Structure 1
Amino acid sequence: MTLLFVELLNRLDKKKKCLCDNPFICLKGFAIFLFGFVMEQLFTEVLKNTVGRLRPNFFDVCRPDFSRIDCSQGYITNYTCTNDEHAASILRNSHQSFPSGHAAFSMYTAMYLIFYVQKRLNISYSHILKPTMQAALLLVALLCCVTRITDFVHHTSDVTAGIILGVIVACAVFYSLGTKCLNVRECTKASNSEDKERNSTPTLTGCQTTLTLLQNEFTLQRQPDSFSSEYQNRNSNSANV
């Protein structure tokens, strides 16, 4: 929706309306967004299954049997969950805390849309609309990240790692693909070249002015000849007299 909204705002600007803009440019932006989303999810899932950090609510979800746990062994890897209220997928997800998937996805989405708005939104009727939209996107993403901590689903370090991951993927994807596929200055260059051609091409008024000047110059060149012939005739008449 944000991509369509940006393109609609561009179309509403009559001063900077560009007819050669591709109307399906938002589809390119969405395709690039999906590619970055797949990359972000791939990194997140690999890290989650590799690190295997316990969530803050792990003990409430699992309720392990402490009578069978020997704390003198150090880090406990063998335990038995006694809570039957949750499915096996929820129990498995309880030890996949690092990094935060919600934080990575929300920050990736916010940063990609911020870059898209900065690149594509080019309007003249409002100077504060662009920074307002960008600030709103960043605020929503940060609120999503904070709620993962306040809901005791992730540790602060998990959310921080998710934010960093989302920002890195968004920057890498947008500046490697978005800057090439979402070029907003193509129409500006085309309009400037058209203006140069129009200025270099002589108009009808210029041609008429040139013809007028040539006719006046031709008339002035012919006048001395008529004056000299008339002067010679007068001299010949006076000599005859």
Structure 2
Amino acid sequence: MPTVVKAVEDSTRIRANRATGWPVTAWLSKLKPDPLKRLHLDLGAAGKQLTGTARTSVPKASGVQRARVDTEVRAFADHLSDDLAQPWATAVRRASTSRLTDLGDRLDRAVASTDLGAERIPVWAGLVRVLQWLLIMAAIVGGLWLALLAFGSYARLPEPPTPEVWGFALPTLLFLGGILLGILLALVCRVLVGLTARRRAAAANKRLRAAIAEVSGELVIEPIETELSAYASMRSALAVALK
């Protein structure tokens, strides 16, 4: 889970920074590998259809991790069967580990089918992207205008009238304003991107925990409950017979 949650946060940060960053340099983020794609978790809308055959690239559990899971499951079964007679306690322990061999594949499918909510950039990031390109276009227009004025002066052509805004020549304002505002907007958005990435990681963590709880409930809790239910039924039958 920590690997996947960290990948959601990093992937969201990369994609949102690419959308909201200054377009002149934002393309450099394409050189960074997307963490979710490396884990084969960037499945989009078709992800749930693919999970029947596709596997993720989430690192497999080590021997130590599998041993910890086995120990925790057995400790859980021992706690529940502490007051039972030895045959029933043994049955509960056996039931708790009866399906542990299926745990790895089922958890892999659970992770792959969970909607991590990271495949789309935030709506506000899309709006910022449009604004960034408008600022770049303004800077290009201003730069071409200044180049035309410089060429006309060099060629000794009559200088066309240049409008002013707030005491600044309009082409200069377009050129410098487009660049400076774009850079400033990208820096401000980095804070918003960080908040969005952490929020999406927290949401993914919650969904993953729910998916893992469902798998563990089916593979560990249900077999134990079956044995405990059989034990309760036997106790009830004996109580009726002894009356």
What TM-score does the superposition give when structure 2 sets the normalisation length? 0.35
What TM-score does the superposition give when structure 1 sets the normalisation length? 0.35
Tell me which structure has the larger Cα radius of gyration: 1
| Structure showing greater relative contact order (alpha-carbon pairs closer than 8 Å, 6 or more residues apart) | 2
Which structure shows the bigger proportion of residues in helix conformation? 2
